[in-house]
């Protein structure tokens, strides 16, 4: 049996399967989704590369979060200046040094 022969089709036109406009057949590209051909021929404006998120889980990614044989932080066990310097610093208090009081009904609020 002889092999099937196809015409070259240098001058053939075809419709884009996505937008419907006519293009030369050799300009159209095949659309691929999740590395599988969809048998859709689309124009260069409608064509998009296969999205990288389809490949999530396909390749192993090792990202360990735990540390082997961890040791607790003992920096807070010291006394003296080291403890004060390692404490949490909350910044300055804008109300520090102000003394005011306000009475509302039977409730008295004093800021000092």
102 lies in some domain: no
CA distances from 98 to 58, 95, 108 (A): 63, 6, 16
Which domain does 34 fall in, by range? 11-54
34 lies in some domain: yes
67 lies in some domain: no
15 lies in some domain: yes
Alpha helices in the chain (DSSP H): 81-85
16 lies in some domain: yes
- Convert the pLDDT of each residue in 31-72 to its tens digit: 998 888 999 999 999 999 988 888 888 888 888 888 888 887
- In the predicted structure, residue 84 carries a pLDDT above the cut 70: no
Distance between CA atoms of residues 15 and 27, nearest Å = 11
Sorted by sequence, the CB contacts under 8 Å of residue 100 that are 6+ apart come out as 110, 111
Give how many domains the chain has, as a whole number: 1
Q: What is the pTM of this model?
A: 0.46
């Amino acid at each position: 049996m002889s092999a099937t022969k196809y015409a070259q089709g240098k001058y053939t036109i075809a419709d884009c399967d996505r937008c419907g406009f006519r293009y030369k057949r050799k300009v159209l590209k095949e659309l691929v989704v999740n590395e599988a051909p969809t048998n859709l021929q689309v124009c260069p404006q409608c064509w998009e590369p296969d999205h990288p998120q389809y490949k999530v889980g396909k390749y192993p990614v090792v990202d360990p979060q735990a540390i082997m044989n961890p040791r607790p932080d003992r920096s807070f066990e010291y006394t003296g200046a080291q403890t004060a310097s390692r404490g949490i610093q909350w910044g300055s208090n804008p109300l520090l040094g102000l003394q005011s009081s306000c009475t509302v009904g039977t409730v008295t609020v004093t800021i000092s």
